[in-house]
Amino acid sequence: MADTIHPIHHPAHQAAARGALEIRGLTKRYRVSGTPFTALQDIGLSVAPGEFVSIVGASGCGKSTLLRLIVGLERQFDGEILLDGRPVAGPGLDRAIVFQEHRLFPWLTAEENVALGLLKSHHPAADKRRLVREHLELVGLGAFAKAYPSQLSGGMSQRVAIARALVARPRILLLDEPFGALDALTRSHLQAELLRIVRAEGITAILVTHDVEEALYLGDRVVVMHPRPGRIAGIIPAGRLPLAEDGGAPGPGFGHDRADPAFIRLREAVLAELGAGHAQPPARRAA
Protein backbone atom coordinates (compact mmCIF):
# COMPACT_ATOMS: atom_id res chain seq x y z
CA MET A 1 0.00 0.00 0.00
CA ALA A 2 1.01 3.61 -0.34
CA ASP A 3 3.65 4.65 2.22
CA THR A 4 2.03 7.98 2.92
CA ILE A 5 -1.69 8.34 2.94
CA HIS A 6 -3.17 11.74 2.23
CA PRO A 7 -6.87 12.30 2.79
CA ILE A 8 -8.74 12.02 -0.51
CA HIS A 9 -10.72 15.00 -1.72
CA HIS A 10 -14.18 13.49 -1.70
CA PRO A 11 -17.41 15.22 -2.81
CA ALA A 12 -19.26 13.44 0.04
CA HIS A 13 -17.06 15.06 2.71
CA GLN A 14 -19.27 18.06 3.50
CA ALA A 15 -21.43 16.86 6.40
CA ALA A 16 -20.37 18.22 9.81
CA ALA A 17 -21.16 15.42 12.27
CA ARG A 18 -20.15 12.17 10.59
CA GLY A 19 -20.40 8.62 11.74
CA ALA A 20 -21.91 9.00 15.23
CA LEU A 21 -23.74 5.74 15.93
CA GLU A 22 -26.29 5.43 18.71
CA ILE A 23 -27.90 2.07 19.49
CA ARG A 24 -30.61 1.99 22.17
CA GLY A 25 -32.54 -0.95 23.56
CA LEU A 26 -31.88 -3.07 20.46
CA THR A 27 -33.49 -6.50 20.61
CA LYS A 28 -33.63 -8.89 17.65
CA ARG A 29 -35.77 -12.02 17.65
CA TYR A 30 -35.93 -14.74 15.03
CA ARG A 31 -38.41 -17.56 14.73
CA VAL A 32 -36.70 -20.91 14.41
CA SER A 33 -39.10 -23.77 13.55
CA GLY A 34 -41.96 -21.66 14.88
CA THR A 35 -40.24 -20.97 18.21
CA PRO A 36 -39.13 -17.40 19.01
CA PHE A 37 -35.40 -17.05 19.58
CA THR A 38 -33.73 -13.91 20.97
CA ALA A 39 -30.49 -13.33 19.03
CA LEU A 40 -29.77 -9.92 20.59
CA GLN A 41 -31.16 -8.54 23.82
CA ASP A 42 -31.24 -4.91 24.89
CA ILE A 43 -28.06 -3.76 23.15
CA GLY A 44 -26.99 -0.21 23.97
CA LEU A 45 -23.88 1.31 22.40
CA SER A 46 -22.71 4.81 21.48
CA VAL A 47 -19.86 5.13 18.99
CA ALA A 48 -18.25 8.55 18.46
CA PRO A 49 -17.34 9.88 14.99
CA GLY A 50 -13.96 8.48 13.95
CA GLU A 51 -13.91 5.93 16.76
CA PHE A 52 -12.76 2.35 16.13
CA VAL A 53 -14.78 -0.21 18.11
CA SER A 54 -13.96 -3.92 18.10
CA ILE A 55 -16.52 -6.58 19.03
CA VAL A 56 -15.56 -10.03 20.29
CA GLY A 57 -17.72 -12.85 21.55
CA ALA A 58 -18.35 -16.57 21.33
CA SER A 59 -19.78 -18.02 18.15
CA GLY A 60 -23.51 -17.39 17.95
CA CYS A 61 -23.64 -14.40 20.31
CA GLY A 62 -25.08 -12.18 17.58
CA LYS A 63 -22.05 -10.21 16.33
CA SER A 64 -22.86 -10.61 12.63
CA THR A 65 -26.55 -10.02 13.32
CA LEU A 66 -25.64 -6.71 14.98
CA LEU A 67 -23.59 -5.62 11.93
CA ARG A 68 -26.40 -6.67 9.56
CA LEU A 69 -28.84 -4.56 11.58
CA ILE A 70 -26.54 -1.52 11.49
CA VAL A 71 -25.97 -1.88 7.75
CA GLY A 72 -29.74 -2.12 7.25
CA LEU A 73 -29.92 -5.67 5.85
CA GLU A 74 -32.28 -6.71 8.66
CA ARG A 75 -35.17 -4.32 9.10
CA GLN A 76 -37.25 -5.94 11.83
CA PHE A 77 -36.05 -5.22 15.33
CA ASP A 78 -37.06 -3.51 18.56
CA GLY A 79 -35.17 -0.44 19.73
CA GLU A 80 -33.31 2.27 17.89
CA ILE A 81 -30.29 2.47 15.59
CA LEU A 82 -29.37 6.06 14.78
CA LEU A 83 -26.58 7.23 12.51
CA ASP A 84 -25.85 10.92 12.99
CA GLY A 85 -29.29 11.16 14.59
CA ARG A 86 -31.19 9.54 11.71
CA PRO A 87 -32.82 6.12 12.13
CA VAL A 88 -31.38 3.33 9.99
CA ALA A 89 -34.15 2.00 7.75
CA GLY A 90 -32.44 -0.11 5.10
CA PRO A 91 -29.08 -0.13 3.31
CA GLY A 92 -27.53 3.20 2.28
CA LEU A 93 -24.33 4.72 0.93
CA ASP A 94 -23.55 6.08 4.41
CA ARG A 95 -22.73 2.53 5.61
CA ALA A 96 -20.47 -0.09 4.05
CA ILE A 97 -19.53 -3.62 5.08
CA VAL A 98 -16.56 -5.87 4.37
CA PHE A 99 -16.93 -9.62 4.93
CA GLN A 100 -14.43 -12.41 5.54
CA GLU A 101 -14.72 -13.46 1.88
CA HIS A 102 -13.99 -10.59 -0.51
CA ARG A 103 -17.21 -11.11 -2.54
CA LEU A 104 -15.71 -9.56 -5.69
CA PHE A 105 -17.35 -10.28 -9.03
CA PRO A 106 -14.92 -12.60 -10.88
CA TRP A 107 -15.88 -11.29 -14.33
CA LEU A 108 -15.08 -7.67 -13.40
CA THR A 109 -11.63 -6.09 -13.08
CA ALA A 110 -10.40 -4.61 -9.81
CA GLU A 111 -11.39 -1.09 -10.91
CA GLU A 112 -14.81 -2.26 -12.11
CA ASN A 113 -15.39 -3.97 -8.77
CA VAL A 114 -14.45 -0.79 -6.90
CA ALA A 115 -16.67 1.28 -9.21
CA LEU A 116 -19.64 -0.83 -8.06
CA GLY A 117 -19.37 1.01 -4.76
CA LEU A 118 -20.34 4.20 -6.62
CA LEU A 119 -23.17 2.69 -8.65
CA LYS A 120 -25.85 4.53 -6.66
CA SER A 121 -23.91 7.75 -6.08
CA HIS A 122 -24.63 10.88 -8.11
CA HIS A 123 -21.08 12.11 -8.73
CA PRO A 124 -20.16 13.07 -12.31
CA ALA A 125 -18.49 10.25 -14.29
CA ALA A 126 -15.07 11.98 -14.20
CA ASP A 127 -15.22 12.22 -10.38
CA LYS A 128 -16.18 8.55 -10.17
CA ARG A 129 -13.18 7.55 -12.32
CA ARG A 130 -10.87 9.65 -10.15
CA LEU A 131 -12.28 8.23 -6.91
CA VAL A 132 -11.90 4.65 -8.14
CA ARG A 133 -8.28 5.32 -9.15
CA GLU A 134 -7.48 7.07 -5.87
CA HIS A 135 -9.02 4.31 -3.75
CA LEU A 136 -7.13 1.59 -5.59
CA GLU A 137 -3.97 3.61 -4.90
CA LEU A 138 -5.04 4.03 -1.27
CA VAL A 139 -4.98 0.26 -0.82
CA GLY A 140 -1.73 -0.08 -2.78
CA LEU A 141 -3.23 -1.59 -5.92
CA GLY A 142 -2.91 1.26 -8.41
CA ALA A 143 -0.97 -1.01 -10.76
CA PHE A 144 -3.63 -3.74 -10.64
CA ALA A 145 -6.65 -1.75 -11.83
CA LYS A 146 -7.13 -3.98 -14.88
CA ALA A 147 -6.51 -7.28 -13.06
CA TYR A 148 -9.32 -9.78 -12.49
CA PRO A 149 -9.87 -11.31 -9.01
CA SER A 150 -8.42 -14.63 -10.23
CA GLN A 151 -5.15 -12.77 -10.89
CA LEU A 152 -4.99 -11.37 -7.34
CA SER A 153 -3.94 -13.00 -4.05
CA GLY A 154 -6.41 -13.33 -1.17
CA GLY A 155 -4.92 -10.28 0.56
CA MET A 156 -5.02 -8.20 -2.64
CA SER A 157 -8.64 -9.20 -3.25
CA GLN A 158 -9.52 -8.14 0.29
CA ARG A 159 -7.82 -4.78 -0.37
CA VAL A 160 -10.05 -4.34 -3.43
CA ALA A 161 -13.06 -5.14 -1.22
CA ILE A 162 -11.91 -2.48 1.28
CA ALA A 163 -11.47 0.06 -1.56
CA ARG A 164 -14.98 -0.78 -2.82
CA ALA A 165 -16.39 -0.27 0.69
CA LEU A 166 -14.61 3.08 1.11
CA VAL A 167 -15.08 4.60 -2.34
CA ALA A 168 -18.54 6.05 -1.61
CA ARG A 169 -17.05 7.50 1.60
CA PRO A 170 -19.38 5.84 4.13
CA ARG A 171 -19.88 7.48 7.51
CA ILE A 172 -19.29 4.13 9.10
CA LEU A 173 -17.32 1.09 7.96
CA LEU A 174 -18.46 -2.31 9.26
CA LEU A 175 -15.99 -5.17 9.16
CA ASP A 176 -17.11 -8.77 9.75
CA GLU A 177 -13.92 -10.79 10.34
CA PRO A 178 -12.31 -9.17 7.28
CA PHE A 179 -8.88 -10.74 7.82
CA GLY A 180 -10.03 -14.15 9.06
CA ALA A 181 -9.05 -16.00 5.88
CA LEU A 182 -5.61 -14.41 5.45
CA ASP A 183 -2.15 -15.64 6.48
CA ALA A 184 -0.62 -14.05 9.60
CA LEU A 185 1.77 -11.69 7.78
CA THR A 186 -0.79 -10.39 5.28
CA ARG A 187 -3.23 -10.05 8.13
CA SER A 188 -0.94 -7.88 10.23
CA HIS A 189 -0.02 -5.67 7.22
CA LEU A 190 -3.69 -5.15 6.40
CA GLN A 191 -4.59 -4.42 10.02
CA ALA A 192 -2.03 -1.58 10.12
CA GLU A 193 -3.04 -0.22 6.71
CA LEU A 194 -6.75 -0.34 7.50
CA LEU A 195 -6.10 1.69 10.62
CA ARG A 196 -4.05 4.27 8.72
CA ILE A 197 -6.82 4.66 6.15
CA VAL A 198 -9.74 5.01 8.56
CA ARG A 199 -7.72 7.43 10.72
CA ALA A 200 -6.63 9.53 7.72
CA GLU A 201 -10.18 9.63 6.34
CA GLY A 202 -11.86 10.06 9.76
CA ILE A 203 -14.20 7.11 9.25
CA THR A 204 -15.98 5.43 12.17
CA ALA A 205 -15.30 1.68 12.16
CA ILE A 206 -16.82 -1.35 13.87
CA LEU A 207 -14.87 -4.59 13.60
CA VAL A 208 -16.15 -8.05 14.50
CA THR A 209 -13.34 -10.49 15.14
CA HIS A 210 -12.56 -13.73 16.96
CA ASP A 211 -8.99 -12.54 17.46
CA VAL A 212 -8.62 -10.75 20.82
CA GLU A 213 -5.19 -9.35 19.86
CA GLU A 214 -6.59 -7.92 16.65
CA ALA A 215 -9.48 -6.39 18.62
CA LEU A 216 -7.08 -4.68 21.03
CA TYR A 217 -4.49 -3.72 18.40
CA LEU A 218 -7.10 -1.84 16.37
CA GLY A 219 -9.82 -0.84 18.78
CA ASP A 220 -10.28 2.30 20.85
CA ARG A 221 -12.73 0.12 22.79
CA VAL A 222 -13.41 -3.60 22.81
CA VAL A 223 -17.01 -4.72 23.28
CA VAL A 224 -17.31 -8.21 24.76
CA MET A 225 -20.56 -10.06 24.01
CA HIS A 226 -22.03 -13.09 25.70
CA PRO A 227 -24.41 -15.57 24.05
CA ARG A 228 -27.89 -16.95 24.78
CA PRO A 229 -29.19 -14.34 24.46
CA GLY A 230 -26.61 -12.18 22.68
CA ARG A 231 -25.83 -9.20 24.89
CA ILE A 232 -23.04 -6.81 25.80
CA ALA A 233 -21.20 -8.17 28.83
CA GLY A 234 -18.53 -5.48 29.08
CA ILE A 235 -16.75 -2.69 27.23
CA ILE A 236 -13.00 -2.50 27.70
CA PRO A 237 -11.27 0.83 26.91
CA ALA A 238 -8.09 0.34 24.88
CA GLY A 239 -7.58 3.85 23.51
CA ARG A 240 -4.87 4.78 26.02
CA LEU A 241 -2.64 1.79 25.26
CA PRO A 242 0.81 2.74 23.92
CA LEU A 243 1.04 2.76 20.14
CA ALA A 244 3.27 0.35 18.27
CA GLU A 245 6.28 1.90 16.62
CA ASP A 246 7.00 1.58 12.94
CA GLY A 247 10.58 2.37 11.95
CA GLY A 248 10.91 4.37 15.17
CA ALA A 249 8.06 6.70 14.25
CA PRO A 250 5.04 6.27 16.46
CA GLY A 251 2.00 8.16 15.30
CA PRO A 252 -1.65 8.04 14.44
CA GLY A 253 -2.57 5.16 12.24
CA PHE A 254 -0.42 2.64 14.05
CA GLY A 255 -2.14 0.14 16.25
CA HIS A 256 -1.47 -0.56 19.90
CA ASP A 257 1.79 -2.19 20.91
CA ARG A 258 1.08 -5.91 21.34
CA ALA A 259 4.23 -6.40 23.44
CA ASP A 260 3.43 -3.69 26.00
CA PRO A 261 2.58 -5.04 29.48
CA ALA A 262 -0.60 -2.91 29.58
CA PHE A 263 -1.71 -4.52 26.29
CA ILE A 264 -1.07 -7.98 27.72
CA ARG A 265 -3.05 -7.12 30.87
CA LEU A 266 -6.01 -5.90 28.81
CA ARG A 267 -5.82 -9.04 26.65
CA GLU A 268 -6.14 -11.11 29.81
CA ALA A 269 -9.09 -8.95 30.94
CA VAL A 270 -10.87 -9.46 27.59
CA LEU A 271 -10.20 -13.21 27.69
CA ALA A 272 -11.51 -13.39 31.27
CA GLU A 273 -14.68 -11.53 30.26
CA LEU A 274 -15.11 -13.87 27.29
CA GLY A 275 -14.55 -16.89 29.52
CA ALA A 276 -17.19 -15.71 31.98
CA GLY A 277 -19.73 -16.12 29.16
CA HIS A 278 -18.79 -19.77 28.89
CA ALA A 279 -18.84 -20.49 32.61
CA GLN A 280 -21.26 -23.20 33.48
CA PRO A 281 -23.56 -22.80 36.47
CA PRO A 282 -22.15 -24.70 39.46
CA ALA A 283 -23.23 -28.36 39.58
CA ARG A 284 -25.81 -29.12 42.26
CA ARG A 285 -24.44 -31.06 45.17
CA ALA A 286 -25.91 -34.42 45.89
CA ALA A 287 -28.18 -34.23 48.92
Ligand X SMILES: Nc1ncnc2c1ncn2[C@@H]1O[C@H](COP(=O)(O)OP(=O)(O)OP(=O)(O)O)[C@@H](O)[C@H]1O
Query: Could you list the residues that contact ligand X (CB under 6 A)?
Result: 30, 32, 39, 57, 59-65, 230
Smallest separation (angstroms) from ligand X to the CB of 44:
17
Report the 10 Å Cβ neighbour count for 238: 25
3-state SS, residue 69: helix
Task: Give least dist CB 91 to ligand X, A.
Answer: 16
Closest approach, Cβ 200 to ligand X, in A, equals 29
Cβ distance to ligand X smaller for residue 20 or 55: 55
Taking the complex as a whole, how short is the minimal distance between the CB of residue 125 and ligand X, in angstroms? Answer: 38
CB 64 to ligand X: min, Å: 3
Smallest gap from residue 28 Cβ to ligand X (A): 8
Instruction: State which residue, 156 or 274, has the beta carbon closest to ligand X.
Output: 274
Residue pair 206/64 in contact by the 8 Å Cβ criterion: no
Contact indicator for 46, 21 with CB cutoff of 8 Å:
yes
Residue 62 or residue 117: which is nearer to ligand X going by CB?
62
> Which value, to the nearest 10 degrees, does the dihedral of the CA atoms of residues 137, 143, 145, 151 take?
-120
The 10 Å CB-count burial string (b at 16+, else e) for 123-150 is eeeeebeebbebbbbbbbbbebbebbbe
The C-alpha atoms of residue 19 and residue 160 are separated, in whole angstroms, by 22
Residues present in the chain in total:
287
Element (H, E) at 160: helix 154-166
Distance CA 122, CA 119 (A): 8
- Give 61 or 173: the residue with its C-beta nearer to ligand X: 61
Q: Which is closer to ligand X, CB of 32 or CB of 279?
A: 32
For ligand X, give the closer residue by CB, 39 or 174.
39
Write down the least CB distance from residue 229 to ligand X, Å: 9
Rounded distance between C-alpha atoms, residue 277 and residue 264, angstroms: 20
d(CA 254, CA 5): 13
Q: Which is nearer to ligand X, 39 or 232 (CB)?
A: 39
